[in-house]
Amino acid sequence: MKFKYIGFFIALMCTVASFGQIKVKGTVKDKGNVPIPGVNLLVKGTATTTATDFDGNYVITVPNKNAQIEFSFVGFTNKTIPVGDKTAIDVIMEESSQALDEIVVVGYAAVKKSDITSSISSIKGKELQTMTVGNVAESLQGKVSGVQVTGQGGPGAQPRVLIRGISTVNLSTDPLYVVDGIPMGTSINFLSNNEIESMEVLKDASASAIYGSRASNGVILITTKKGKAGKTRFNFDMSSGMQLMNNPYHMADAEGYASIMNKAYNNSGYADYLPNPSQYRGKTTDWWDAGIKKASPVTNASLGVSGGSDTHTYSVSLNYYNSESIYEVGGWERITMRINNDFKFSDKFSAGVTLNPRYETYGAPGNWADFDKIDPITPIYKPASQLTGLENEYSIYARSPSYIWNPVASVKRYDDYTDQYNLNTNGYLQYTPIKGLVFRTQASIEVGDKVRSRFNPDFIIDAAHEKAEINTIERWNTTNVDWTWQNTATYSKTIADKHNVSLMIGNTMEEYNGKDLWGYGEGVPNNSDAMRELNAATKNRNSGGNSWSSSLMSYISRFSYNYDSKYYFTGTFRRDGSSKFMTNNKWANFPSASVSWRILNEGFMEPAKDVLSDLRFRAGWGKVGNQGLPTAVYQSNIGQGFYPIGSVVTDTSFPSSMANKDIKWETVEDISFGLDFGLWKNKLSGSLEYYQKKTEDMLFKKQFPTYSGFPNYSTIWTNVGSMQSSGIDLLVSYKDKKGDFTYGVDMTFTTVNVKMLSLSANGERLYGAGNRTLTVQGEEPGYFYGYVADGLFQNQTELNAHTDEHGTKLQPYAQLGDVRFKDVNGDGKLDDKDRTKIGSPWADYNVGLNFNLAYKQFDLVANFYSSIGNDIVNQNISDLYNGTSLTNKVSGLEQMAWHGEGTSNSVPRLSKDDNNENYTKFSSLYVEDGSYVRMKNLQVGFSFYNKFGLDKLRISLSGQNLWTWTKYTGVDPEVAGGDPKQDDGVKGSGFGGWNYPVQPTILMGLNVAF
């Protein structure tokens, strides 16, 4: 019976509670009386939320008349309204007074955008999510002034990111990425763009000096999404589509190939290589169609859950990315998860922890060029008459006389994949004992394991040239345990309402540890998948391993002051101690200072405030460093080799690298000046900046001179020379709204001028890319260095005139139609002294143009990017036009190549011998204008609000890299080139060839929020 009364009591209390609730409705509009869809409503102190529909209408239930409703929307000032006795509340939202009150993350702090004194660009995560990319840095292309992004193409490839040009020649040029306050190195392949709340690019040293020795290439700060108080919200984002791979060249068919090769043979005095070309008509082997997919799937998906209360907020996201390769095997697959919890225990204590587990697997063949280069006459498979029935599955393919290994067979044999597992944990504790004073400690640890496995099966396609008589198995295992610990104390105070002071001091500790093991074996009993293990190898087993460790101890401080929001000063100081240097040079100091004058806040500017909404002048100076060299270069290393003594091959040891106990930091000193402006309530806004940075004590790995007695491959790390980069960054943005139509356009413009100021010795010459680039004092680093191709010899008169003063021919083997190489120094000889500057890989300008349009439920985004003034070495010219090899040639080459006076002045005559070295001499014949304009992204979307039981449903159709304008005849003008692993990242820039192109992509997108 008593349970009956308890039930009655509960029912009565629920009824009373329901009587206290109030249903409130209304409409939210802007100042132009236009309804605003998607405005967020929160009943303060509760988890009750809703959003306005497409017409700006809402309905929400509040607990009582004392409730307050908070209205918020991006670009508008938050508004809080008490309910009282009202049941209908119409709201007019006011646009934010510029984005000056926006919070921007800087090193170890967050400040108002209006208080920034340094060169920092900020971009919101929503702007990055319009593109489907594996590496979010690609989404920055053209959207941030001063940042040059060059896509590398291919699954898992990392783009090259340059912030205000280059500041080093031998080391990596990648910026430092800091995620949620933790330095994460120079790659963010592990991060999904759906996880990002905002990105801040620290472009000058006054902004990045707080990161000291790791900031010479700039710093990119990434803030991931966090939970917000209110009801639990679910978001699902997915884009899926196809990456298109069209053959960049129209290659000759079998008949055309025979004609081209016969022409080359005949021009060199030989008989036809393939008599009667018409016999091959209709017998072309379509290698491209047999081995390259016209379209490869790409998928990007994310599921997020967030919410919380005033004391606890949470956010969980699960992200998936998959990009298949252009072959039948290979690709890149990544799964990441981010679990974030923030706790507020009281007004004084708060804490948070983030877990980020991730897994990725990648690997793909790299031989797509062979599908164009192999001759079109050879069949894919051996004829049945050549098969004995004893061949394994990898030995049934035909061999080409062109010496290009059968590419279909190579793909079939491919087995080289990497699996990577990582877990990153990041936690913080924050204590505020008194108003304005904040103590914060933050620690992170990352554990990773990477396993690469490679199996090469045995096969015999040709007993002399294309075979592997014994199979091999290899495996590499790399583990890492990295940790960081940061401690800061920050005190902020406003004195007499006008003096705003902030002081931060702290220290950081970082340690990076790694180990690797590798194993090798031969003679696995068979090629089956089950047997591809090291233990199955029966011969030549071998193994090895290594470990490494480096650490960094730092002390940091920042002082900020502004008077009456007019005059600003910020000074930072960082002292770094690195394990990579010996005692005398272990520590280095990295100071910076910057000032800002908000001119608009001066009294004499009052009449201009109807037009001007922002006007600021900024100036900054600072020093940053670079310690990106290998660990323990102050130690000498011994290499191992083999040397024949008589008939015996003897193991040998030799000094492979020599110690330099005096090695020290590479330092970059930077100055910058900027002007920020805004007009008509920031409808038109932008910034103009000039920068100059000078690098000193550059870290170089140099070879010992032969007279030293050391082998010519012995090297030493040392500090040599200096270089300087300078230029301007310009950002102009216009945004407006007319009724239901909103639109905006942003333009970014960047220039970079870089030159070497000095090297270790006067007149020193640094070569790169196989002696095809040169770096000397007074010029930009890594310019193309070769012979000048001064057209083709058109007639006998021109051929006879190309002589020295005594009538001796400069090119004794030249014939009509061959390249005329210029005697640059006029000494009557054609030799190495005539090599000169024939181009530069560095662009004069980079331009980005970004459009955003919306009308009612429709929206459109368009992004364009351009690189202007750079040259590219098109290494494919020899493959496509040179008759010396038996590889396939571009279709119609007989007519394209010189075949009589005036027929061509750029494509030399076809020749089997090439005695004139038309193609073996590196010359301006290979150098082309690399300028291009590319449509990076075009997306159209349609959104539903409060339909189908969902807060929002958006569908979209987008195309990436759909259109490119360029004069470059190579595969793709978006070329970085260079190999940082070989210390050639800068000195080898600008070499294009059969590089994996940035592919056009068509995608459908879906976004659901509820």
Q: How confident is the model at residue 880 (pLDDT cuts 50, 70, 90)?
A: very high
| Nearby residues of 305 by Cβ (< 8 Å), 6 or more positions away | 232, 233, 234, 235, 314, 315, 316, 317
pLDDT tens for 345-372 read 998 999 999 999 999 999 999 899 999 9
On the question of pLDDT at 4 being above 60, the answer is: no
Residue of 520, 522, 509 whose CA lies nearest to 544: 520
Q: pLDDT averaged over the chain?
A: 88
Q: CA separation (Å) from 815 to 794, 822, 908, 926?
A: 9, 16, 10, 20
Residue 732 near residue 686, CB atoms below 8 Å: yes
Residue 161 near residue 201, CB atoms below 8 Å: no
- Element of type H or E holding 880: helix 876-881
| Nearby residues of 761 by Cβ (< 8 Å), 6 or more positions away | none
- Which pLDDT value is given to residue 12? 43
What distance, in Å, lies between the first and last C-alpha atoms of the chain? 43
Neighbour-count burial of 739, counting CB atoms closer than 10 A to its CB (0-12 exposed, 13-18 middle, 19+ buried): exposed
Residue 698 near residue 720, CB atoms below 8 Å: yes
| Nearby residues of 187 by Cβ (< 8 Å), 6 or more positions away | 135, 158, 174, 177
pLDDT tens for 661-712 read 778 888 999 999 999 999 988 889 999 999 999 999 888 777 766 555 566 5
**Residue type, position 996, single letter:** Y
Q: How confident is the model at residue 806 (pLDDT cuts 50, 70, 90)?
A: confident
pLDDT tens for 580-638 read 888 888 899 999 999 999 998 888 888 888 888 889 999 999 999 888 777 766 666 66
Q: CA separation (Å) from 953 to 38, 234, 238, 942, 949?
A: 11, 12, 12, 8, 10
Instruction: Classify 165 in phi/psi space as left (phi over 0), alpha (psi -120 to 50) or beta.
Output: left
Residue 685 half-sphere exposure, CB side, CA atoms within 13 Å?
17
- Which pLDDT value is given to residue 981? 64
- Element of type H or E holding 125: helix 125-128
Enter the tokens of residue 109: 């702090």
pLDDT tens for 729-742 read 999 999 988 888 89
976 SS3 class: coil
Q: How confident is the model at residue 653 (pLDDT cuts 50, 70, 90)?
A: low
503 SS3 class: strand
Enter the tokens of residue 282: 């209709």
Mean pLDDT for 102-122 is: 82
Residue owning tokens 């990319």: 133
| Nearby residues of 8 by Cβ (< 8 Å), 6 or more positions away | none
Neighbour-count burial of 68, counting CB atoms closer than 10 A to its CB (0-12 exposed, 13-18 middle, 19+ buried): middle
Residue owning tokens 């139609």: 817
Mean pLDDT for 888-903 is: 95
User: In the chain, pLDDT over 70 holds for what percent of residues?
Assistant: 92
Domain limits of the chain? 22-92
On the question of pLDDT at 1 being above 60, the answer is: no
Q: CA separation (Å) from 978 to 421, 745, 841?
A: 28, 34, 11
Task: Tally the residues of the chain.
Answer: 1010
Phi, psi of 852 (to 5 degrees): -135, 120
Residue of 148, 126, 147, 261 whose CA lies nearest to 202: 147
Q: Which CATH superfamily is domain 22-92 in?
A: Carboxypeptidase-like, regulatory domain (2.60.40.1120)
Residue of 458, 464, 490, 660 whose CA lies nearest to 558: 490
- For residues 173 and 986, give the distance between their C-alpha atoms in angstroms, rounded to a whole number: 8
